[in-house]
Structure 1
Amino acid sequence: MKTEFSQPRFTGARFDDHTLPVDVARDLAAYEILIVELAKHLYLKNHPDRQRVPKGFASNFRLDIERIDEGSTKLLLALVLSGALALTGGEQDHFAQARDLIAVCIAAPENALPAEFPKELLVHFNQLGRSLREDEALELPLPGANNAARLTQTKRKLLVLAADQVYERDISLIGYIEEVDFARSTFRLKLVDGGQSTVPMPDSFQNTARTYGGRSRHQINVVGVGTYDSWDRLQKVVSVDALEVIKNHAISARFDEITQLESGWFEGDGLAPDADEMSAVSEKLIADYPDKLPLPQIAPKQDGNLLLEWKAEGDPSLDINLTSSLASFHAFGEHGEDVERDFNLDTAGWQSLFAFLGDNIRVREA
């Protein structure tokens, strides 16, 4: 048996084309789960003589997306009941009551939540609405009203904190691996803002952790779920969805900046480096630049090429001609003589260049 059940509406720039981003679909799954759990609670409250809901109460219930209407992304959710649940009327009403109570709870002030909504179920808002961005909302129709309840990231946070001291949200943390605990399968991430956090480590990441542990030059981007307190301070990394290594992040970030240049960038003059040619150079520097060498300062030149300079003995520098794939090194030797060498930046040339830099760049003593 299938009947129209609810018309939630997603608002925000991502929904202007009346499509549903895949990552937002998890909010609908969380909505379905909350309806089921709340319906169970309501059933048992209305039947105090029972200890359990009828067999098939939850398993024979589901929500299907029947269509997407215009008006940002407005979904029609159909209620599909099967088995014995489809043949009885009273049990069905609890799902509609749960749907309406969820909307009323979202619309209520956090200090005046409906008493019939159990506090222990507020934790479900850790999942429901978690994919929403700051400018987005999930609107649910309010019973007997023309307006809707608006679930935003802020409202979701307040609902969870009404029953708990922390709430969950998606995280994207960037830092370097300061220490690895293989016994506990965790590593300590030193964050770019100076803080730190212990991160669960999948078995598949252990070799990577060995390679990059203690090497602050290489950053790790942690994507997953974390718990935050009411002041939005990270308390714990709950789970990890993805771990990405950003090798030589300072070099990578600098090339990202240079890529944004347009011709005329220097007082109306100055050619913008060719994007494809610069990409080839940046990939080699990011991937293979030796850890033992100090990082260079990288500057665009007015002719559209690149200059690398090191704060080291002899003021070493490297001119890179992007068009010809040639690099010219210059420094002053111990007695003031010129130290010069040219490199053809093919695969062997890069290897020769890095080996040469290792032998000829001497860090100044403090």
Structure 2
Amino acid sequence: MEVLSDLPAFRDLLVSYAKDEWRRRHEDRERVPKGFDKSLAFDLIDIAPGSAIPKLEWNRHRNSGQVNLPGFADEIEEIVESAYSDVVALIGGHSGRVSALNSEKVRALNHFGAGLRDDEKIELLDRVNGQVVSLDAHRRKQLITGARETYQTRLEGIGKLIGTQIKSEEEASVTVRTSEHGDITIPVDPIQVKEEFDGNLEQDVQFVLLVELDSQDCFRRVADVLDIAVVDSEISAALSACRKRLEELRSLEAGWHNGVGKQVTDDALHAAEAFLTKRTSFCAAYRLYPTEGGGILIDFEHGNWDYSVEFSATGSVEMYGVEIEGDGELGPKEFNFVGEVFLTAFDDRISASG
């Protein structure tokens, strides 16, 4: 469901390139004809097997050029094919006639792939040569910041509530202190401030935002609020205890274990922190230890299982476990980092063990 917002954004990007193609074919016209946008509507007809592969179909009948662009039905089909090739060329970095990114295209790109995580990508098939081009978070940032100073992306995390403000009956905000971007002012509904945030200063707040960053990933503003809520007090206290333990591990010097044991790395600490903030509900059960290789080990029990989540010195993560009463065993499986692939596997395993 989270990726559905990418589909209208993709359509808007395609339409922008279709307009460029129309103008190339009709240099005597200053504007595209009325009804051009309506002729380019798409239906979601299937979700194919795989990692969220939506199948889109241009509805040539319900939204045909005969209805909205009389006399241009055949030409509009060629324009759509050409526009799709231009989108593929843009993402793939192919040389050619791809138009510069105007404000319309940047606006579409700011929504297309805004929720991409570090281990995710959007793939498009080149219908000419059969090759696949990929849009990941890095490539998307390159494209947008190549045309303007800032880009929009999804930000998910937990911060400390340090202030609230109600300016009017329609306008209010909360200020949250984050480890990544400092103090962030987030617009919220005045009623939510009164009912949920007032009286909860210094409490943890969990948020999912669409934010605007510059090319150096410095925070500029909140573009949209997808979700924000005060974290349950018991979970918040458990999370604070885990963070305190991380600080203890950070202070360990090399040789902490009878003369051996490397200092815990920043990559391991960042990976562990990311895991804690994304799976806070188990924080009360977590037990955190350093590893001799400079990593961090988190042990916890759930159901009839004893699980271990280990973060290496490079930030990769591995999960394994054993059945407490029985001979069941979960063999280790390694993931490059704490991304959606790992978190999905973690959730599936936890659900399977009750």
* TM-score (norm: length of structure 1): 0.58
TM-aligned CA deviation for residue 44 of structure 1: 2.6
Instruction: Mark the CA change 1:113 to 1:241 in structure 2 (over 3 Å): closer, same or farther.
Output: farther
Displacement of 1:38 in angstroms is 2.1
Residue in structure 2 matching 1:89, options 56, 63, 74? 74
Q: Work out whether residues 101 and 117 of structure 1, in 8 Å CA contact, stay in contact via their aligned partners in 2.
A: no
Corresponding letter in the other structure for 2:183: Q
Q: Check the 8 A contact 2:181/2:219 in 1, yes or no.
A: no
Q: Which residue of 1 aligns with 2:178?
A: 191
Q: CA deviation at 1:84?
A: 4.0
Counterpart pick for 2:128 among 139, 144, 158: 144
- Counterpart CA distance in 1 for 2:106 and 2:124 is 16
SS in structure 2 of the partner of residue 238 of structure 1: strand
TM superposition shift of 1:164: 1.1
Does the C-alpha gap of structure 1 residues 220 and 72 become closer, same or farther in structure 2, counting only changes over 3 Å?
A: closer
Deviation, 1:86, is 7.5
The 1:245/1:257 distance shift into structure 2, 3 A limit, reads: closer
Once residues 247 and 24 of structure 1 are traced to their aligned partners in structure 2, the CA distance between those partners, rounded to angstroms, is 28
Q: Does 1:238 align with 2:264?
A: no
1:46 equivalent among 21, 25, 32: 25
Q: Does residue 1:203 correspond to 2:190, yes or no? A: yes
Distance 2:181 2:38 in 1: 48
Q: Could you say what secondary structure the match of 1:212 adopts?
A: coil
User: Which residue matches 2:152?
Assistant: 168
State whether residues 161 and 177 of structure 2, in contact with CA within 8 Å, keep that contact through their aligned partners in structure 1: yes
Indicate if the aligned counterparts of 2:204 and 2:236 stay in contact, CA closer than 8 A.
Answer: no
C-alpha separation between the residues in 2 aligned to 1:171 and 1:58? 32
SS in 2 for 1:175: strand
Amino acid at match of 2:81: A
Q: How many residues align?
A: 241
1:54–1:92 distance in 2 versus 1, CA, 3 Å: farther
User: 3-state DSSP class of the match of 2:130?
Assistant: coil
Correspondent of 1:116 among 76, 91, 99:
99
> Is residue 173–residue 193 contact of structure 2 (8 Å, CA) maintained in 1?
no
Of structures 1 and 2, the larger Rg is shown by 1
Is contact 1:85-1:92 (8 Å) kept? no
Equivalences for 1:1-366 in 2 at 5 Å?
Answer: 22-70=1-49, 72-81=51-60, 82=64, 83-85=67-69, 88-108=73-93, 114-120=97-103, 121-183=105-167, 185-192=172-179, 195-208=182-195, 211-212=198-199, 215-216=201-202, 218-248=203-233, 250-253=236-239, 254=241, 256-260=282-286
What's the % identity of the aligned pairs? Answer: 22
Deviates more, 1:155-164 or 1:238-247: 238-247
1:154 is aligned with what amino acid?
A: H
Give 1:70 shift. 4.1
Change (3 A) 1:131 1:252: same
Q: Distance in 2 between matches of 1:181 and 1:257?
A: 31
Supply the RMSD in Å over aligned alpha carbons.
3.0
- Name stretches of at least 5 consecutive residues in structure 1 with no aligned partner: 1-21, 262-271, 276-366
CA contact (8 A) 2:174 2:186 kept: yes
Does structure 2 conserve the Cα–Cα contact (< 8 Å) formed by 1:126 and 1:160?
yes
In structure 2, give the amino acid aligned to 1:175: G
DSSP 3-state at the match of 1:42: helix
Deviation of residue 198 (structure 1)?
Answer: 1.4
Structure 1 residues 228 and 114: CA distance shift in structure 2, 3 A? farther
Q: How far apart are 1:80 and its partner, in Å?
A: 0.9
2: CA distance between counterparts of 1:238 and 1:179?
Answer: 19
* Mapped partners of 2:192, 2:163: distance in 1: 14
> Contact 1:108/1:114 (CA < 8 Å) preserved in 2?
no
